[in-house]
Structure formats: structure tokens, C-alpha cells
Structure 1
Amino acid sequence: MVVIVRMLAGRVLALVPLLLGVILFVFIVMRFSPTDPALAAFEGANVSQEQLEAFREANGLNDPLPLQYVHFVWQLLQGDFGTSVITKQPVGETITTALPLTVQLTLMGLVIALVVALVLGITSALFRDRWPDQLIRLVSLAGVAAPAFWVALLLVQWLAVGEGLFPTSGYVSMNDSFSGWLNSMALPAIALAMPVAAQLTRIIRTSMVEELDKDYVRTARGGGLPPVVVVGRNVLRNALVNPLTVLGLRVGYLLGGAVVIETMFALPGMGQNMIQAVKDGDTAKVQGFVITIALGFVLVNLIVDLLYLLANPRLRSHA
């Protein structure tokens, strides 16, 4: 346990400069964007140059960039993401409202991707070089090449427009109707999950094949242990260690892909709100949304690192 805590503390400390770098990158990009927060705040109304300068002075936009960055980071450390120049509401309130939906969509996509990848990856490895393996490898290769938005278009055309099984867009809150919520989230989650499921299928298949070729598997089978016991108790557990190393990156892909998928299905999550903020020139909202998504990506990778430490005793013993 002491080893795990020490290694986890090292991971946390290493993430601090990464987060500061992400914040700096977002800050610089937004400051050099062609959007003028002062003009956006007045919504294109006829205002004098004096009013614009007064707004910039009151909001620190005329301060040197290093000072603006320090002030921005200090606000973030206090949990203050700034105030929207359009709605005049704190950005944190909008994030609190939109983030749960994005988390729901990401988790649903992750669960679907893991279930599909485990079933197909294990099946492909157990039937190595036979027709189920060849078919699964072909399907997974096509899935890797297919972007989430293209999969979403196909699903909408087939299951929503063609069969009428799901709505084409819109969102139903879980509090209003669980079945309606599940119905509105199904297609976006499947579209988001399929490319990730295809990637994980290939990784799990490769890891399983390598594990099945090891001496202890042949010894266990020669000793009379049922294949189900050998695969379920030893092979699968050892084979899933390597896929854990890439799981964090795949979850990051799900978070990023949710931005596009939410917009396509008109889901009021982080992605839909961020696209609208970009259209409105609301720099405070864009900064808040991007930093929140980046923070989520970093936290997910931290959790995956911890899971990897727990699943790999050899790594702990050499720490």
C-alpha cells in the first residue's frame, strides 16, 4: 500500500506542470483569437470606443499577458471560471449544468465499448486464425477507420429515420423518464463507443494471443484444468493488464468525441454549449469548457494509472 501511495503521489506531482501547460495553451489561444470579448459583451450594439476601452479596463483586458495569466490561474484555483460576457452568469454554473450529461454519455460509451471489446477480443483470440477470428479482425479494422460522426450518421439513417426505433435528436432527463433518457442516449453512446470498441478489440485480441502461447497455459491444460478455468482465472486477468495502459487515452477520445456527438444529436452537454460559446465569441465559456475537459482527461489517466498499479504486482514489486 505504501508503494502504491508513493507512486500515486509521484503521478499527481507530474500532472501539475501538465495542467499548467494546458491552461497556458488555452489562455494564449483565446487571447490571440480574432474574437474581441468587449464587442461580444455588447452583442454587436452601437457602442463608442470609450465604452469598449472602459470594459477592457474593468475586466483586465489591457493588463500585460503575464499578469492576465497569473490572475486567470488564481481564479481557477479558487474555483472561479469567470463570467460569461453574453449571459452575465458565472461559467461554473453552466459547467455544473452541462457536465453531468457529458459524463453520462462518456460512461455509457465506455461501458458499451468495454463489453463489445471484451466479447469480440476474447472470441477472436480463442478462435485464432479461424473464420470467427478473421471476421472479427475485419470488422474491428473497419471500426478503427470509421470516425464517430460517420457512425452516428449511419445509425441515425438506419435506426432512427429508417426503423424509427430511436429519436433523431433531443434529450430526455433521467428524472423525467428513465426509458426516455435511455432512448435519447442510446444512439449517441453507440456512435461514440464503436471506434473505441474496435481499437480495444484488437488490443485485447493481441494480448490474449500472447498470453495463450505462454508455458503456464500449456501446463495448466496438460494438468487437466478446464479451459474455462484457465482462461477466466489466469489468462484473462493477465491479458487485461496491457489494455489498461491505453484505456486512459481511449477515455480521453470519448470525452473529445462527445463534443461532436452532442452537437449532432442536440444534447445540451459540454460539447453543445462549447460550440455555441465559440459561435457567440464567449471566450470565458470556451476557456472553462476546454479546461474542464482537459482536467477530466488528466483525472481519468490518473485513475487508469492506479488501476494499472493494482493489476500489475510486478510493477509494484520493482518500485
Structure 2
Amino acid sequence: MTTVLRILLRRTALLVPLLLGIALFVFLVMRFSDVDPASAFFQGADPTPRQLHAFRERNGLLDPLPVRYLHFVGDLLHGDLGTSALTRTPVLDQVVTALPLTLQLTFLGLGIAVVLALAGGVTAAVHRDRAADQVIRVLSLVGVAAPAFWLALLMIQYLAVDRGWFPSGGYINPEDSVTGWLRTMALPALALSLPVAAQLTRIVRTSVVEELDKDYVRTAIGNGLPPHVVVGRNVLRNALVNPLTVLGLRVGYLLGGAVVIETVFALPGMGKLMIDAVQNGDPAVVQGVVLTTATGFVLVNLVIDILYLLVNPRLREAA
């Protein structure tokens, strides 16, 4: 356990330069974009050159770039993501309002993807080269090729519009109605999760097949242990190493895909917040959403790294 704690502290320390690098990248991209924060702040009005200059001077926009970056990082450390040019409210407040829905959608989609991948991958591996394996492999290939937004449109047409089983959009807070929340989140989460589930299913199948071909499995079954016990207790634990690695990368896909899915289903999450900010020329909100999403992706991958160490004793010993 001491080894895991030491590795965790080392990985956590590496987050500091990584997050500073992300902040630098976002800072440079936004500063070299065509959007002028001063013009964005006065959009809808007709500011004079003196007003624009006063705004830039008051907000440090005339300082050298390194000084502006240090001020930018200092503001981030104090939880200041800037002020929206459109609503004149702190960006942090808007992010705090929109982030819970995006997290709900992302992790609900992640849970569905993991369940489908484990069920499909293990079933295909255990019934290798049989009918069940062939069907699952074909379905996973179709799922990999199908974009999430296309699946979302099909689900809206056939499950919401034609049959009325689910609403075609909108959001109900779980505090108001858990059933209503599940109904509004079912199609978005399913559309978001199916491509990830298809990719993970193929990886889980390959990993489980490799483990089933090893000598310890044949020895355990030959000694009288039921196959389902061997698979559940030993094979699955060893076979989860590779899927866990891929899962960390797929979380980034889920966070990015949530932007499109929220727009399709009119969900008031981070995706809709960023799309509205881009359309309305609100650079501070775009910057805040990107920083929050990137930080979330890094933190989730840290959790995946820890799980990877827990299920892989050999890597833990080597580390």
C-alpha cells in the first residue's frame, strides 16, 4: 500500500506542470485568436477608441504576454475564470451551473459503455468463433463506425418521435423527478456510450481470449474449478489491464462527445454553454469551458492510472 501511495503522490505532483501547460496552451490560443475581449465586452454598443483603450488597460490587456499569463494563472488559482462579456456574470458561476449535467451525462454514458463492453466482450471470448461471438463482433464493428450524433438522430426519430417512448430533448433535474431524469438522459447517454462500448468490447474480447489460452486457466479448470469461477476470479482481473488503459482515453471522447450530444438533445450542459459562447463571441466562457473540460480529463486519467496499478501487481512492483 505504501508503494501505491508513493506512486499516487508522484503522479499527483506531475499534474502541476501538466495543468500549467494546459493553461498556457489555452491562454495562447485565446490570445492569438481573432476575438478581441474589449470588442466582445462592448458588443451591441458602439464604444469609442478611448473606451476600448481604457478597458484594455484596466484588464491588463496591454501588458507583455508573460505578465498577462502570470496574472491569468494567478486568477485561476483563486478560482477566477473571468467574466462573461454577454451576461456580465462570472464564468465560474456559469460553469458550476452547467457542469453537473455534463458530468451526469458523461459518467452515465461511461457506466453503460463499461457494462455493455464487459458483457459483450466476455461472452464473445467464452463462446469464441461461435454464433454469439460472430454476432457480437459484427455489432461492435458497426458501433465503432457509427458516429454518436448519427445514433442520436436515429434514436430521436425512431424512439422519441415515432413511438414516443422517450422525450426528444430537454432536461429534468433528478431532485424533481428521478424517473423524469432517467427518461431525459436515457437516449443521450446511450447515443454517447455505444461507440465507446463497441471499441471496449473488442478490446475486452481480445484480452479475455489471451488469458483463456494461458496454462493457469487450463490447470484450474482441470483441477475441477467451474469455468465461470475461473473467469470471474482470475481471468477477468488479469484481462482488465488493457481495457483500463483505453478507458482513460475514451473518457476524453465522452467529454468531447457530450458537447455534440447536448446540442442535439437541447441539454443545458457545458456543450451548450460553449456553443452559445462561440456563436455570441464570448471568449471568456469558451476559455473557461475548455479549461474545465481539460482539467476534468486529466483528473479522470489520474484515477484510471491508479486503478491500472491496483489491478496490475507486476506494474506496481516495477514502479
**Normalised-by-shorter TM-score class:** over 0.9
Once the two structures are TM-superposed, the CA of residue 8 in structure 1 deviates from its matched residue by: 1.2
Residue in 2 that maps onto 1:78: 78
Matched residue pairs, number?
A: 319
Spell out, residue by residue over 1:153-178, the C-alpha distance to the aligned partner (whole angstroms, 9 max, x if none). Answer: 11111111111111111111112211
Across the aligned residues of Structure 1 and Structure 2, the Cα RMSD in angstroms comes to: 1.1
Superposed, which structure 2 residues align to 1:1-319 within 5 Å? 1-319=1-319
Once the two structures are TM-superposed, the CA of residue 16 in structure 1 deviates from its matched residue by: 2.0
Residues in 1 aligned to 2:27 and 2:147: alpha-carbon distance in whole angstroms: 29
Residues in 1 aligned to 2:78 and 2:48: alpha-carbon distance in whole angstroms: 34
Q: Percent identity?
A: 68
Residues in 1 aligned to 2:146 and 2:63: alpha-carbon distance in whole angstroms: 46
Once the two structures are TM-superposed, the CA of residue 310 in structure 1 deviates from its matched residue by: 1.0
Residues in 1 aligned to 2:234 and 2:175: alpha-carbon distance in whole angstroms: 42
Once the two structures are TM-superposed, the CA of residue 318 in structure 1 deviates from its matched residue by: 2.3
Once the two structures are TM-superposed, the CA of residue 101 in structure 1 deviates from its matched residue by: 0.5
Residues in 2 aligned to 1:313 and 1:282: alpha-carbon distance in whole angstroms: 48
Q: After the TM superposition, which parts of structure 1 deviate over 6 Å for at least 4 consecutive aligned residues?
A: none
3-state secondary structure, aligned to 2:105? helix
Spell out, residue by residue over 1:210-246, the C-alpha distance to the aligned partner (whole angstroms, 9 max, x if none). Answer: 0000001111111111111111111111111221111
3-state secondary structure, aligned to 2:33? coil
Once the two structures are TM-superposed, the CA of residue 194 in structure 1 deviates from its matched residue by: 0.4
The answer to which of 199-208 and 64-73 deviates more is 64-73
Gaps of 5+ in 2: none
Residues in 2 aligned to 1:250 and 1:260: alpha-carbon distance in whole angstroms: 16
Spell out, residue by residue over 1:36-88, the C-alpha distance to the aligned partner (whole angstroms, 9 max, x if none). Answer: 22122122312211111111111111112111111001110111111112211
Residues in 1 aligned to 2:228 and 2:309: alpha-carbon distance in whole angstroms: 26
Residues in 2 aligned to 1:267 and 1:65: alpha-carbon distance in whole angstroms: 37
3-state secondary structure, aligned to 1:79? coil
Spell out, residue by residue over 1:190-222, the C-alpha distance to the aligned partner (whole angstroms, 9 max, x if none). Answer: 000000000100010000000000001111111
Residues in 1 aligned to 2:51 and 2:78: alpha-carbon distance in whole angstroms: 29
3-state secondary structure, aligned to 2:11? helix
The answer to which of 38-47 and 94-103 deviates more is 38-47
Once the two structures are TM-superposed, the CA of residue 313 in structure 1 deviates from its matched residue by: 1.4
Once the two structures are TM-superposed, the CA of residue 9 in structure 1 deviates from its matched residue by: 1.6
Residues in 1 aligned to 2:46 and 2:92: alpha-carbon distance in whole angstroms: 30
3-state secondary structure, aligned to 1:216? helix
The answer to whether the Cα contact below 8 Å between 1:309 and 1:315 also exists between their aligned partners in 2 is yes
Residues in 1 aligned to 2:98 and 2:125: alpha-carbon distance in whole angstroms: 40
Residues in 1 aligned to 2:107 and 2:211: alpha-carbon distance in whole angstroms: 29
The answer to which of 241-250 and 300-309 deviates more is 241-250
Opposite residue 49 of structure 2, the aligned amino acid is Q
Once the two structures are TM-superposed, the CA of residue 317 in structure 1 deviates from its matched residue by: 2.0
3-state secondary structure, aligned to 1:175? coil
The answer to whether the Cα contact below 8 Å between 1:36 and 1:281 also exists between their aligned partners in 2 is no
Q: TM-score, normalised by structure 1?
A: 0.98
Residues in 1 aligned to 2:52 and 2:317: alpha-carbon distance in whole angstroms: 62
Opposite residue 182 of structure 1, the aligned amino acid is L
